[in-house]
Structure formats: C-alpha cells, structure tokens
Structure 1
Amino acid sequence: MRRVDSLFARLFGVFLVAILLAHALAFAWFSHYGRPPPPPAPLQAELMRPPPPPGPVLRGPLIVLGFQLLTLIVAAWYGARLLSRPIQQLSEAAERISDNLDSPPLAESGLPEARQAAQAFNLMQRRIREQVQQRARMLAAVSHDLRTPLARLKLRLEQIPNTQLRTRMDQDLQEMIGMLDATLRYLHEQRSSETPQWLDLQALIESMVEDAQDHGADVRCQGHCAPLRAQPLALRSCVSNLLENALRYAGHACIELNDSPEVVEMRVVDRGPGIAAGQREAVFEAFFRVEGSRNRNSGGVGLGLTIAREAARHQGGDILLEETPGGGLTAILRLPRL
C-alpha cells in the first residue's frame, strides 16, 4: 500500500493517464475519419450534385496532435512540479539553518520519500545543534580550567628572584594567555549566530577610528556608504580585526568606503611590509603566521584574519588581500546588500 502512494507511483500514474488519453484521442479520430470512402456515383448524378463545401483549415490529425501535445505538456509540468517541490523545500531549509541553526524544523508531510527526507534533515539539524551546545559547554570548561592554573603560575612568577628569567617567563605566560583568549574568541565566533538588521556601517567605522585615534593610533577614514542589512557583532569583529592587523604590522591605516546598489566595499590600506602573493590566501588559515611576524613585538596568534573572513562569509561577503600600489597591504571587505 505504501508503494502505491509513492512519488514514483504518482509520476508513473500521471504519465500513464496522459499517454492513454492521447492514444484514446488518436483512436477516436482514426475511427471517425479513417472509414473507407463511399463508392463513386454515376456520372450523371455526379454532374448534378453540388460541389462539397470547403473543408476546415485545421484537419482532424492536426487537432488530435495538438491535444496530444497539450496533454503531454501539462502532464510534464505537473510531474516536474511534483518532483521538485520536496527538493526545493529541502534547499530552503538548508539555507535557513546555514544562517540560523535554531530555525524551525522542516515539515514532515507529503509523500513517503519527502517525509523520510524531512525526518533525516530534522535529525541532522538536532544533532548539529547538540554538538554545538556540547562544544559551548566544553569551551566554558576549558576557559575556566585553563585560566586557573595560568593565574597560579602568574602569582608564582613573582617569587622568582632572577629578574631576567622572570621577565622572559612572564612574556611566555602572557603569550599563552593571548593564544587562549584568541582561540576561545575564534570558537565563539564560529558558533554565534545573529539575525541580520539594518546597520550604519559608516557610523560604526567612524566610531572605531575615533577610538583608535584617542589611543594615539594613526588611522583615518574616507568615503561614504548607506546603511545595509548585516550582523552587527560579527561585522564589528570583522572590521576590528582588519584594523588591528594593519595597525599591528604597519603602525597606520586608512579605511576607504565605496558604495554601490549591489555591494558595499571597505578597503583597509597600509604601507607596511605587506604579504607575498603566494601567502595571501594562507594567512586566512587558523594559526598561520608569516615568518616576518614571528616575534613578540608584532606577531599575533594567527587568528585575526581567520575570524574576519569567516565573519564576512557568514554574511555572504568575503575578504581579499592585494598589494597596495607603492608597497604595503590592502584588505578588501565586500558585503552584498541583502
């Protein structure tokens, strides 16, 4: 009984009815127009008979073939619609959970195949949500369990009489704490999801530039852009990482805004050492650092650009790196207008 109420059975039934109907129409036409002609009348009677009226422009075969074509087109349209509807629903549901993992589950209705696919999809969504929640609990545990011994180590450093050794160990400890904070922030950025809302990107950037200038940073902003729909916290994190990256390695930055009906573009331009062309994609990998940055004064953990690109891609955008004319690095953030 379940096989009768299946997608294959319905499609087969639709096309079977269409074929039978088309052949029935053809059979009816041949039964009506396919009779043998009457015997010839005598010559005198033939001469006295008035001429037959002119036949229709569309003969019987054309009408039947037209009905057949129309029937097959309607059947094909209905069959394709019936087949594509569950796939379209799955595609829309997958797009929803890519933006928000807590989106409503897919309705488990329709044909058996569609119900089975919806059940499997909802099960996958629940398992992913459980894994994300488990990872969040692990992050909280790691954050607490690691900070406690690090704090004890920091207190015990004060008891070391050798000043030079104490200074070096304190630098190592601060680097470990920085790596821990950056790693936790990176994992938090991966699991966080925001609802897009209208955001004045220009006002956000100008505020960040003013804050950096108050701390003595050489940074300026130019250009204009209209508000756009975006994830505020993710976008702020993205811009902040790009700006901090430029100030860390170049000591200065210039933010340029370019607006268009389809895309908003932000350029963070610096005149620092730059990055070789072969490493401009590798620097977006987690914990990757170019050789020139592996020092305590300027070298970061290697997660800033990773966090920035993932935040941009979560909003449908991307970040690219290119050489600044005359030397330096330009980070380009492109965001679509949703």
Structure 2
Amino acid sequence: MRLRLDTLFGRLFGVLLLAIVLAHLLAFAWFFYYGPPPPPGPPPEFSRQGEGPPRFNPPPQHTPRPWFGGPVVPLTFQFVCLIVAAWYGAKLLTRPIQRLSDAAERLSENLDSPPLEETGPREARQAAHTFNLMQQRIREQVQQRSRMLGAVSHDLRTPLSRLKLRLEQIDDIKLQGQMRQDLNDMIGMLDATLTYLHEQRTSEALQWMDVQALVESLSENAQDQGADVQASGGCAPLQVQPMALRSCINNLMDNALRYAGHALIALEDKRDQVVIRVIDHGPGIAADKREAVFEPFYRLEGSRNRNSGGVGLGMTIAREAAERLGGQLSLEETPGGGLTAVIRLPRT
C-alpha cells in the first residue's frame, strides 16, 4: 500500500511517527550523554612496602550524576510528545467533519449559502466536492419546482376562470350553483397547494420579534373582520422567523374559527421556552387522530370535512412552520371539550 501524504491517514501517520522518532532520539541521546551508572569499584586493598605500616588504597572517585540525568526527563518528553501528537491528530480528524457540519447547517438555513472550500486532505476535498454537487443539485431542483409552480398556477387558473365566466350562461340555477361550488373548491385546493409548496421552499433569517405584539395584532385583525378571537398572556421578545411564526399562528387560528367559531391565543413565557396555545371549544379531535391531521390533505369525517372548509393542509403548514422555528406543535384536548394547539418555541 502506497502512503500518500495528502490523505488524512498519511498526515496522521506522519505526525505520530515523527513524535515517536523524536522522543526516542532524545531518549537515546540523553542516556548516551549521561551513560549508565558506573560499576562498583574493587574492594579496598592494603599493601605493605618494606616494613612500614599497611597503606589503604581508596577506590577511584566518580562525579555523581545530576538529578535530571536519570530516565525522568526523557520519559517525560516522550509522554509530552505523544500527547501533542494525539491532540494534533484528533484535530486533523475532526476539522473536516466540523467544516462539513457547519456547511450543512448553513445549507439548511439558506440554499444559496457559499459552497464549501475544497481544501485539506484528499478525503476532505472529496467530501467537500460531493457536498457542493449535492447543494447545486438541490438548488436546481428547487428552481425547477418554482418554475413548475408558476406554470401550474397560470395554466390551471386560466381555464378555471373561463369556466366561471361560462357558468353564467347556464339557465339551471341549481346546476349553476353546484358547478360554481365545485369550481370554488378546485380554486381553493389550488391556492392551498401552492401556498403549502411555497412555505416549504421559503427560507428566512432569524430576527428578534415581539411575539406578544404579533399575537395581539392577529387577534385585532380577526376582530375587525367580525371573528371572535381573544389574546391573553405575554412574553419577552424571541428570536424567530417572522413569516413562519405568523403562518403557523394564522393557520391554527383559522382552523379554530372554522370548526369552533372562536379562538383564544394564550401566551406563556418560561425560562427556556415560549408556549403559544390556540384554544377552542369546538368538536375536538380524538386522541388517536391527532397526529394524522398533520398529514397533507388529510381530513376527518364529520364536522371536520371539506364541507366545513379547508383542504387538509392548514395543520401541515403550521407544523412545518413550527419545526422551521426549532419548535414543536402538538394537539391536546381542551378542558371542558375542544381542541388546543400548543406551540413550544425554545429560547436560544
């Protein structure tokens, strides 16, 4: 296997090999310079010269080694070298992953974010190149869908408008009314579908917003149109996507007005989140059906059907808007009967 230094494996292997070689070279040089401790000398000797008294010959004297001449210093240096190499190797491994993660987060917020730089080891360059290709293809698909939506909107609205004009030529009043109702349903479904697809491709930047003022404004606008909508509670400003939050609350409020004839929007400010409740006392939804209503075009039988308005996209749009805000949308039973939609938005 040929070792390539432009790969992540080659760089990591080279760093660790260099650290090990340097640590061992220092250890060898250190022990060579100070050498092993001297062997013990011969035992003391007594000698006689002539008839004089015996003379003591002391062993040769050796200069003692300094305290740092032992294995402590080279072993410590080896330990430090390996720690530094392991730290640098971990940085080499995690840096490309962190760059890819940051780019993916930017892409989730904005499809037009700048492409990822194709630099670094070969594996990192390959991952960055693949990521940039994916971003380009996603952008092309979104643009293609936008063009398709424009074409669908134009091509369907035109014949529907002509049909509405030709209805006036029908003498049968009953048949005319039925056909007008069917055309209105088709136009409503077309508008709801286009709105849903538009909401999916919309990308907004986060900004600070007075949620309490938004809720009060929506309530007052509904009251001006003769709807029974009340607002209560309060909260501090929150960092949100304004259009997404407005769309979420609007759809929940319209849902409550459609099926109950009234709505109460209650705010609750907590330390780590803001809770928005849209409360009604209408027919409610059975517990086993509450998740199903978030599916596109899903409609319940009975009071919550097409005859009472809607095409089954309002709750879908509301949940997806809440998720784009990093929050959650769930449905609960209102005490005393009815439905409560609960939006939980985190404080970041």
Q: Same fold (TM over 0.5)?
A: yes
What TM-score comes out, normalization by structure 2 length? 0.89
Which structure has the bigger radius of gyration? 2
What count of residue pairs does the alignment treat as equivalent?
337
* Correspondence for 1:18: 19
User: What SS does structure 1 have at the residue aligned with 2:41?
Assistant: coil
Determine whether 1:90 maps to 2:100: yes
Measured at CA, do residues 320 and 17 of structure 1 come closer, stay the same or move farther in structure 2, by a change above 3 Å? same
Determine whether 1:303 maps to 2:305: no
* Correspondence for 2:52: none
The residue type paired with residue 163 of structure 1 is I
Matches of 2:45 and 2:287 in 1, distance apart? 99
What TM-score comes out, normalization by structure 1 length? 0.91
Determine whether 1:152 maps to 2:162: yes
Measured at CA, do residues 140 and 91 of structure 1 come closer, stay the same or move farther in structure 2, by a change above 3 Å? same
The residue type paired with residue 18 of structure 1 is A
Structure 2 residue ranges without an equivalent (≥5): 47-55
| Farther-moved stretch of structure 1 (268-277 vs 133-142) | 268-277
Contact persistence 1:96–1:103 (CA under 8 A): yes
Matches of 2:133 and 2:3 in 1, distance apart? 23
Aligned match for 1:203, one of 213, 222, 245: 213
Offset, 1:273? 1.3
Contact persistence 1:250–1:270 (CA under 8 A): yes
Offset, 1:30? 5.2
The residue type paired with residue 98 of structure 1 is S
* Correspondence for 1:136: 146
* Correspondence for 1:187: 197
Offset, 1:290? 1.5
Contact persistence 2:42–2:59 (CA under 8 A): no
Determine whether 1:230 maps to 2:240: yes
The residue type paired with residue 100 of structure 2 is L
Offset, 1:304? 0.5
Matches of 1:46 and 1:286 in 2, distance apart? 106
* Correspondence for 1:39: 41
Contact persistence 1:293–1:300 (CA under 8 A): no
CA RMSD of aligned residues (A): 2.5
Matches of 2:306 and 2:317 in 1, distance apart? 21
User: What SS does structure 2 have at the residue aligned with 1:291?
Assistant: coil
Contact persistence 1:293–1:299 (CA under 8 A): no
The residue type paired with residue 105 of structure 2 is E
Offset, 1:75? 0.4
Identity %: 67
* Correspondence for 2:184: 174
User: What SS does structure 1 have at the residue aligned with 2:343?
Assistant: strand
User: What SS does structure 1 have at the residue aligned with 2:308?
Assistant: coil
Determine whether 1:3 maps to 2:4: yes
User: What SS does structure 1 have at the residue aligned with 2:199?
Assistant: helix
Matches of 2:238 and 2:74 in 1, distance apart? 57
Measured at CA, do residues 46 and 195 of structure 1 come closer, stay the same or move farther in structure 2, by a change above 3 Å? farther
Matches of 1:196 and 1:151 in 2, distance apart? 39
Post-superposition Cα deviations, 1:53-87, rounded to whole Å, max 9, x if no partner, equal 8984x883343332222111110000110111111
| Farther-moved stretch of structure 1 (32-41 vs 217-226) | 32-41
Post-superposition Cα deviations, 1:118-161, rounded to whole Å, max 9, x if no partner, equal 12211211111111111000000000000011111112222222
| Farther-moved stretch of structure 1 (72-81 vs 121-130) | 121-130
Matches of 1:196 and 1:46 in 2, distance apart? 92
